[in-house]
Chains A and B, each alone.
Chain A
Amino acid sequence: MQKSLYLDADKCTGCKQCELACSFERDGSFNPIKSSIQIFTFHEAGRFVPYTCTQCDDAWCMTACPVDAITINTATGAKEVNEATCVGCKVCTIACPFGTINYNTDTGKVTKCDLCGGDPQCVTACPTDAITYVEADATGFSRMKEWAAKTDNAQSAA
């Protein structure tokens, strides 16, 4: 069964534990700039929003790559960058509509979320379940349940 990251901004407190876990997993360092997941703070609105790659099925980064350095991990569905093949041309960073694939100046390669091979560390690190790893076919179910609870028959639904 394939799984997806599910990001719930309403639960995020902006603590960046996910960024620390990600940068540690990818880079061996605590360094938010090296994290593939980023928390954005909208101060005046009082909102914290986690954002990362959604692993598009028809992934434009993969399509755009001139050297086929981005491939699909069939077990997780993640689009993964093969660093040995990547030439650092950054075309994928232009192609991605969401900005979730980025260049790493230390390695000269691009970097993106690879779902940590099926055990995403951001999910483990998040203290509020703002980031969960759920069945890909059911990413909306938790939100459906919240709305279901608000319907008139809420008492019987509980």
Chain B
Amino acid sequence: MAWTNKVLRVNLTEGTLRYEPLNQEWVKDYLGQRGLGTRYLVDEVDPEVDALSPENKMIFATGPLTGTAASTSARYSVITKSPLTGAIACSNSGGFFGPELKFAGLDMVIFEGKSPTPVYLYIENDEAKLLPADDIWGKSVWEADEILHKAHHDPQLRVAAVGRAAESGCLYAAIVNDLHRAAGRSGVGTVMASKNLKAIAVRGTKGISNIKDPKRFMASTAQEKEVLAENAVTGTGLPALGTQVLMNVINEIGAMPTRNMQDVQFEGASKISGEAMLEPRESDGKPNLTTNAGCFGCTIACGRISTVDTSHFSVKDKPQYHHNSGGLEYEAAWALGSDTCVDDLDAATYVNFLCNEDGMDPITLGSTIAAAMELFEKGAITTEHTGGVELEFGSPQSLVWCAEQVVAATEFGKDLGLGSKRLCEKYGMPDLSMTVKGQEFPAYDPRGIQGMGLAYATSNRGACHLRGYTVASEVLGIPEKTDPLVSEGKAGLVIAFQDATAAVDSAGLCLFTTFAWGMDNIAPQIDSACEGDWSVERLLEVGERIWNMERDFNLKAGLTGADDNLPKRLLKDVAKTGPAKGRVSELDVMLPEYYELRGWDSTGVPTDDTRQRLSLA
């Protein structure tokens, strides 16, 4: 059956914990993880609540395949209302923490209320307790991780924690587990810190032994691992170069957002690419990349384990960064590099380490710094605001300084901690914020990849590449090639990706498998593990239901169809170079068709027929 059928509910206000069975009716319609967590949130949280109030809840959810032998079974999600967007937040992470929750016998942990004092949750199989966090509050994730391991005398303990960014109210704080894997986007870490919850430390030794048909499951997962191994992206490109395999590719097709999305190609891209991470440094002859790494159960192993050049200005007097940690993946390298025009691989890697160490979303951090650089360029931010520091595109010193300000929560650092939407509003130039629903874009310019413009505009958690990655089709030809410069047909493509993605997330699998796997590779793995009949059709229906439920939450939270929009820059200013030269995003053409195909009215509200068809409350 693959679920543990057990949920831990933690009331932080009262300091009470109780176990309850998983809602079996909802399992049938929402599968697990993202879907099921969202179903619980929708049932329990008024969408209009202040995201940082005790009335908001936060759900850690695993999927039925989390912790099993299926490849990429590492995933868990954190579902809550986002303080950055005011929309639903669902941030997915790998590493080893999610499976450990399963091994402790839990499908989900639901946090309610707010603790009167800083606490952390300790789980050891069937025993869970809230413990005082006095000695880890105010510490980084890395420090807290070390202290908790020592306190519990357990090297196998798995820790998810928030850092100092979350504690000081940075609106894009991440929850970091296993030192460098993160539920990164939409400020889920900010919500966690607002509840005075510093960390969750879990140790599980119960394992998973209730697979529906173990023999069929092992045969199916073994066969699908072969498919991953033989695929060019999952078998070769991702292990060798990580997601950074994309840096040069996306730059060449003219879809590399650069200089706060003023340009679509970055002249320094190759210097911060996956290939550059393999080049030996002059100083010590070592490359940036030490090795690739897998999350739990992952046979792809796209993870980057890197070092910063110890003689680099950013770390030369800071021995605490003179070792390996999680290195740059593409989105981070783009946001911290291309978008700020910084082509210094070590500076970007160091700031990425800071994101791991203190829990910040590197996409929003990099984009916000890029926005600050443009505000500085246009004279809205001056050296008076920065205490004399010049914020210049292309300056690694500016990048590093800005990131350190956010961690230290200085006056200007707190401004940067607001994210680019609030930052640009505060400094009087709101149009310079490159966001949808208040969340910053990832690394694909919608002028050069038309489908992504629609995917961004309609994403339920604001601009995001992980809700409908049409790059797969438009750039990589997966499952079939479509022209990235053409908007026709993209509404259907985006919907297909969005629904499939929601189902994959809900199983507890990694989205990266879908470079090689279609739903017909995934369904048999779920079907052999889980009670019930899990066909491709049913999974896609689950995906569509999840999408509409998230949409419904957002509409009730006060968002409207008007929020399915892109910044003027992407709709009015043409791409200046590359294959997309002269083009803008054709969102206005795609959006009405998208609404129609979704079964929503012209204002973007699901019709009664659609709601009935999907059995939405």
Contacts and interface: CB of A to CB of B under 8 A. Distances in A.
The finding on whether chains A and B are genuine partners in a shared complex, rather than unrelated, reads yes
Interface of A: 13-17, 20-21, 23-24, 27-34, 43-48, 124-125, 127-128
Contact of A46 (B205, B229, B294, B324): B324
B23 interface: no
Contacts of A24: 69, 214, 218
B325 A15 contact: no
B268 interface: no
Interface stretch (B77-85, B258-266, B295-303): B295-303
A43 B296 CA distance: 15
Given A46-B305, A127-B225, A13 B294 contact: yes
30 contacts: A13-B294, A13-B303, A14-B294, A15-B297, A15-B298, A16-B296, A17-B71, A20-B68, A20-B69, A24-B218, A27-B209, A28-B209, A28-B214, A30-B68, A30-B69, A31-B206, A31-B207, A31-B209, A33-B156, A43-B325, A44-B323, A44-B324, A45-B324, A47-B291, A48-B291, A127-B71, A127-B229, A127-B299, A127-B301, A128-B301
A34 B103 CA distance: 12
B292 interface: yes
Nearest to A15: B294
Can you list the 3 inter-chain pairs with the closest CB atoms, starting with the nearest? A31-B207, A15-B294, A46-B324
Contacts of B128: none
Contact of A15 (B68, B205, B214, B299): B299
A30 B208 contact: yes
A46 B325 CA distance: 7
Contacts, number: 87
B232 to A, nearest CB: 16
B86 interface: no
Contacts of B323: 43-45
Contacts of B325: 43-44
A83 B179 CA distance: 40
Contacts of A16: 96, 294, 296-297
B67 interface: yes
B381 interface: no
Interface in B224-246: 225, 229, 239
Contacts of A48: 291, 293
B296 A13 contact: no
B290 interface: yes
Nearest to A34: B207
B294 A33 contact: no
Contacts of B299: 15, 17, 127
Contacts of A23: 207
Contacts of B307: 46
